[in-house]
Amino acid sequence: MNLLRQKYQEQIVPKLQEELGLKHAMAVPKLVKITINTSSRDFHHDKELLDNSKEWLAAITGQAPKVTVAKKAIAGFNLREGDLVGLSVTLRGDRMYDFYQKLVDVVLPQTKDFQGVKRTSFDGQGSYTLGLNEQIIFPEVEYDKIKRIQGLEISISTSARDPKGAALLLTHLGMPFAKEE
């Protein structure tokens, strides 16, 4: 079992249960899934870029990415229905906890001028979304092997029903939130 998952079950669940005033341990918010997305308008033209992006995304997550296609044609973006637009990976279970621990302990502290992540990126259902400008801050990505620098979006879905519960959960799991002014 992952160390973070074990810490969650043994230490964080009782703390959150007390802080949120919940009667049952099963009502305590938990991580459900982490989704990592990247996209480029050049994926449908440049197959080498697509293959390269698949490689580094698989190296980061430990799971093969799924190719996403456009559902609708949008003339303003020169996009046709069925064009390749992105790559997506959904992590659950131990891989999710491994990725979260790597994100919090290794990747985020390496970002340039890191002051913490925003507290305002929660949606109304208790999910948190974080955008990164470069994939090269992950230790698995070799700078010489990538074709170009790309950004990615990380969505952390929790079972919390409100942003307050999700923020408490992520704080206890070690998310380095920026200090409030």
CATH number of the domain where residue 96 is located: 3.30.1440.10
> Residue 98 domain-assigned?
yes
Decide if 145 is inside a domain.
Answer: yes
The tens place of each residue's pLDDT in the chain, 181 residues long, gives 688 889 999 999 999 999 988 898 899 999 999 999 998 888 878 888 888 889 999 999 999 999 998 888 888 877 788 888 889 999 999 999 999 999 999 888 888 788 888 888 888 888 999 998 888 888 888 887 787 888 899 999 999 988 889 999 999 999 998 887 6
* 181: CB partners within 8 A, 6+ apart: none
Domain count, the chain: 1
Q: Is residue 177 part of a domain?
A: no
Residue 29 is assigned to a structural domain of this protein: no
Contact 91, 155 (CB under 8 A): no
Is 24 inside a domain boundary? Answer: no
* pTM, two decimal places: 0.89
Residue 69, domain extent = 3-12+34-113+135-172
Q: Give a yes or no: residue 121 inside a domain.
A: no
Look at residue 125 and tell me if it is in a domain: no
What amino acid occupies position 64? A
The SS3 of residue 93 is helix
